[in-house]
A and B are shown apart, each in its own frame.
Chain A
Amino acid sequence: MDIKDPIKRMDALAKARGETKYLSDYRFEGALYSRMLRSSIPRGRIVDIKLPALPEGYRLITYKDIPGKNALQMITADWPCFAETDVKFVGETIGLLVGPDRELLQKLFDQIEVEYEAQEPAITIAEGLACKGGAFLNGNNVHCSLSLQKGEDIEAVFSRAYRIVEQEITTGFQEHVYLETNAAVCTKEDGRFVIYASAQCPFYIRKSVCGLLGLKPDDIIVRQTATGGAFGGKEHFPDVLCGPLLVACYVTGKPVRLVFGREEDIANSVKRHPSRVRFKTALDKDGNILGMDSEVVYNVGAYLASSFVVLQRGCFHVTGCYSFPSERTKGIGVATNTYPSCAFRGFGAPQTLFAIETHMNYLASLLGKDPLEFKRRYLIKKGELTITSGPIIEDVKLVQMLEQVLKASGYAEKSKAYAIGSGKGIGLAFYNHGGAFTGNGESAIIKAHVKLVKHLGGPVEILCGQTEMGQGFQTALRKIAAQVLEIPPETVIYDNPDTSRVPDSGPTAASRSTMVVGNLVYKAALDMKRRIDAGEDGFEVETVYEHPEGYPWDQSTFQGVAYLGYGWGVCAVEVEIDKRTAEPVVKGIWTSHDVGHPIDELICHGQVNGGVVQGIGWASTELLQNIGGHFKQTSLSDYIIPTSMDTPTMSVEYVDNPYPWGPFGAKGMGELTFNGSAAAYVDAVSRAIGKTINAIPIPSEVIMDYMLDKEASR
């Protein structure tokens, strides 16, 4: 059997039958319910909190109850568990009202009044950079920044350029819309704090909240409960629930539970960073690109949390799948009074990948060239340098993938047949995604461990921190172990992680689980197989990540080999626009992906379907405005994600390109599949209406504006 042959997913039956327990299904003896008291203004000072008379057993937990340090230790530790005097965004946690009866709790909660002294907020990127209302961070509202430069000095290139083209491209907020809203419980078992959470990264939670009580990570146990979707929205964000719950549990000595409602979750959780990318591109007189300069600005929100790393990845992907003789970029993470932005499938790469594809299309249309032919000339190849001045160290099979997509979609004929502005259009995008943590991060920061246990006379068990959140990893990882051990995958035990039982194998994020942790399990299984064959039983094998030699990376200068392996993608999207009403209909989607070697084609297929549709949603209907600090679309009837009715059957193909350090040649793919469809979709719409589009999302009313705008003609 080839590992890519699909098997039945291990979690499918229980989920389909409704037997899987999610956090809100758990009952804890004597548990208290809780409601988060949050800032209702984007910026200001808390003057007073007026509480109703609280009956016995009800209590508002605030920063004053924290015995340790009032900080959530995400990648940085600037986001406090509870606001003290200042509030910096709508939704910032001020307190946690806890009590035994949900009805009474709600009644008391509704009577709390917070008095503020409001200040003028900065909401947009432009307002943040202009320090509207006065800077609230570092005197300039800049959370973080970086610069990269490859090849000849770009200023010198500009000075001899025949033509310089500038373009600004922007993207909006995006909400994750995981099926299961955020939820967690903190309790005490045998004298230790135990947190149950719907989460991607149990070890992150431990690290993040332990300091609140002056504890060490090991003092706290985190158990992941079945997680109904995450998309990055449960990478660091569960800390925002678990911190207050831990403090409340410490104060009350009781289990405390918090489950967000849907609207509460949309209004008060992290989002994808809005972005503004400005390109300045130098062309020679034949229309060849001599060099490209860019400025990448992400709206980080009030606290930095994980955003510097998001911004870095954005900058590393700003030249997309291309290589230009000279490249420069500057990244800025701007502070605003909006809910902090955080991880979201693609982790900063989608914004710049959308921007570069859109810019390349724009350049081609200015030059009167066919966009595909124009782009093809710059496709990066093995050995060529990326913007971090390190080489691509694998074969790049984009041309082969392009052939697959061209053949399946009829792109060539259609792009000729559908005249610009005809109401029909087909668009195409190239994209990639660097797998796992950047550079040597896997060895320098994560240092993943996994254990494989052969129970005496019993089954094999995988011990690692990787979480199932719907993506299929519990099936994929069992398959990897089982294939090596030559046993049926369903006999392998692999439970939701409990940090007191499993080694820290790093976060379930960065498309690293199959590629990195899967390989550690693969290696452990090889070792185990050898020992079983030699007659051994009842033993453990532990493996630790080692970074291959010869691919240096300097995290202080961001120079070197950023990624050992990329996922690569080509996607074509065909749309038809109703010229009367500007309504778009997606007529076809065709994809090819290089994921190394798929571990299970059906699971991969699910990732392609989901990622591509989520990307089109981001570009089309998922308008999420922030008005005066408040998200405007906070219900699923206002925040419009695509449905299956909006999505045609998708053509899903792969190229085989085994990755030497991945299990059975597999690379990461979870984020990759998100990264290109937005650009392909917008390209198609832009051709159909004959206008240059440089901002997303574009719901029909925005398409109408473009159609009526004579200036936007392409």
Chain B
Amino acid sequence: MNYVAFSLKQALEIRKATKARVMAGGTDLMVSAQRGEGMMPRFEGDMLLISHVDELRHIGFNASGELEIGALCTSAQIAGDSRVPWALRAAASRMGAVALRNCATIGGNIANASPKGDLPGPLYALDARVRLLSVDGAEEMLVSDFILGLKKTKLKDDQIIGAIIIPKMDEWFDYIFWHKIGTRRANAISKLTVTMAIKLDQQRKIVEDFRLSATACGAKTNRSREVESLVIGKKVQELEDLVAPVQEAFDKVISPRAMPVFRRTATKNMIADFFSRVARLPEERNME
């Protein structure tokens, strides 16, 4: 059976009762179910189309000042909203091409758990959480905990992703780096994407926080708090000396199967580039 939900309540009830698989923009699902020329895509089991559920389409700050992005927000919507942190906007703005960006949703991108998906990278680095809804209530967890591995998540069969929550950070980070190496400049699958963020203290001398994630060089997006701790608390002036230890430590975290030399070298080069730029304390905050 195929179901179409017109409200969140209805969607959750159908999901609970039937365990039907959720379809949002369908840009992953329809491709995966294609069966050749002239034949309709076919799915095993029931499907639940949620793309009419308007409650999941908002972007806005919640009571505690965190940014909430509804699961059905499209890449185009995210890319065009200045409240969204730059790295996530940049990632959304470079997904697929125009038509795709009007269909693809952030919920779908996370639930699909592709190691090459574009949105988890910035979301990992930002400590973003996913809110999972069901008839029986809501739960929240880090996106990085939610995604277990290649095409695997912690989504339970009565749950729907409701929103993605980006924690409040005073003026976000001082410097954000995001760079996607795509197979080309549009409709490009990531060969490697690196997101980094640095927060400085008030005097702009000490690194108060540092984040580093890399996509498309392992079964899922990589992030390591241990590696990040090598930088946190260090002086900005020392950043360039930290390039080598950070590179080495992060090199052990990533596990590219294909094109390892390329992926490892480019990752190293991007870390080195970001550190050397930040060490000069430039005005520009967003770096690609």
Contacts and interface: CB of A to CB of B under 8 A. Distances in A.
A699 B184 CA distance: 9
B106 to A, nearest CB: 20
A126 B287 CA distance: 46
Given A645-B186, A705-B261, A24 B37 contact: yes
Contacts of B262: 582, 700-701, 704-705
Interface stretch (B2-10, B45-53, B266-274): B266-274
Interface in B158-214: 179, 181, 183-189, 191-192
A649 to B, nearest CB: 15
A640 B181 contact: no
A517 to B, nearest CB: 33
B286 interface: no
B97 A643 contact: yes
Contact of B185 (A103, A582, A646): A646
Contact of B266 (A24, A102, A581, A645): A581
A260 interface: yes
B36 A704 contact: no
B58 to A, nearest CB: 30
A261 interface: yes
A581 B181 contact: yes
Contacts of A644: 186
Contacts of A24: 37-38
A704 B261 contact: yes
Contacts of A643: 97, 184-187
A632 B70 CA distance: 38
Given A24-B37, A102-B38, A106-B39, A580 B185 contact: no
A207 B167 CA distance: 70
B151 interface: no
Interface in B253-288: 259, 261-262, 265-266, 269-270, 272-273
A637 interface: yes
B212 to A, nearest CB: 15
Given A106-B35, A106-B39, A583 B261 contact: no
Given A261-B37, A701-B191, A642 B184 contact: yes
A642 B269 CA distance: 26
A139 B266 CA distance: 47
Contact of B265 (A621, A637, A640, A708): A708
Interface in B100-144: none
Interface in A670-714: 699-701, 704-705, 708
Contact of B184 (A103, A582, A645, A708): A645
Contact of A708 (B35, B185, B261): B261
A332 B97 CA distance: 43
Contacts of B38: 24, 33, 102, 259
Contacts of B184: 621, 640, 642-643, 645-646
Contacts of B35: 106
A704 B265 CA distance: 8
A577 to B, nearest CB: 12
Contacts of B259: 701
B23 to A, nearest CB: 20
Interface of A: 24, 33, 102-103, 106, 181, 259-261, 264, 579-583, 621, 637, 640, 642-646, 699-701, 704-705, 708
Contacts of B37: 24, 181, 259-261, 264
Contact of B186 (A181, A646, A700): A646
A100 to B, nearest CB: 13
Contacts of A103: 39
A399 B207 CA distance: 60
B75 to A, nearest CB: 16
Contact of B36 (A264, A645, A646): A264
Please provide the 4 A-B residue pairs with the shortest distance between their CB atoms, ordered closest to farther: A580-B269, A701-B262, A645-B185, A645-B186
A583 B183 CA distance: 9
A122 to B, nearest CB: 25
Interface of B: 35-39, 97, 179, 181, 183-189, 191-192, 259, 261-262, 265-266, 269-270, 272-273
A637 B189 CA distance: 7
Given A106-B36, A580-B266, A581-B269, A700 B181 contact: yes
Given A102-B38, A581-B181, A708-B261, 6 more contacts: A260-B37, A580-B272, A637-B189, A644-B186, A700-B181, A708-B265
B273 A580 contact: yes
Contacts of A259: 37-38
A106 B38 CA distance: 11
B180 to A, nearest CB: 10
Contacts of A260: 37
B245 to A, nearest CB: 19
A184 to B, nearest CB: 13
Among A259, A580, A583, A646, the one with the most B-chain Cβ atoms within 10 Å of its Cβ is A580
A580 B180 CA distance: 12
A581 B39 CA distance: 41
A261 B266 CA distance: 36
Given A704-B261, A708-B265, A640 B36 contact: no
Contact of B269 (A579, A621, A699): A579
A260 B179 CA distance: 37
A620 B38 CA distance: 33
B39 A102 contact: yes
A714 B188 CA distance: 32
A642 B270 CA distance: 25
A106 B265 CA distance: 46
A582 B266 contact: yes
A699 B97 CA distance: 21
A646 B97 CA distance: 12
A712 to B, nearest CB: 15
A650 to B, nearest CB: 16
Nearest to B40: A103
A103 B187 CA distance: 31
Contacts of A705: 261-262
Contacts of B188: 640
Contacts of B181: 581, 583, 700
A33 B184 CA distance: 37
Nearest to B266: A581
Contacts of A708: 261, 265
Contacts of B179: 581
B34 to A, nearest CB: 8
Contacts of B192: 581
Contacts of A579: 269
21 contacts: A24-B38, A181-B37, A260-B37, A261-B36, A261-B37, A580-B269, A581-B179, A581-B192, A621-B184, A637-B187, A637-B189, A640-B184, A640-B188, A644-B186, A645-B97, A645-B186, A646-B184, A700-B191, A701-B261, A704-B261, A708-B265
Contacts of B265: 704, 708
Contacts of A645: 97, 184-186
A103 B37 CA distance: 11
A699 B192 CA distance: 14
Contacts of B187: 637, 643
Nearest to B274: A580
A102 B179 CA distance: 45
Contacts of A704: 261-262, 265-266
Which residue among A103, A260, A644, A701 has the maximum number of chain B CB atoms within 10 Å of its CB?
A: A701
Contacts of B269: 579-581
Nearest to A265: B37
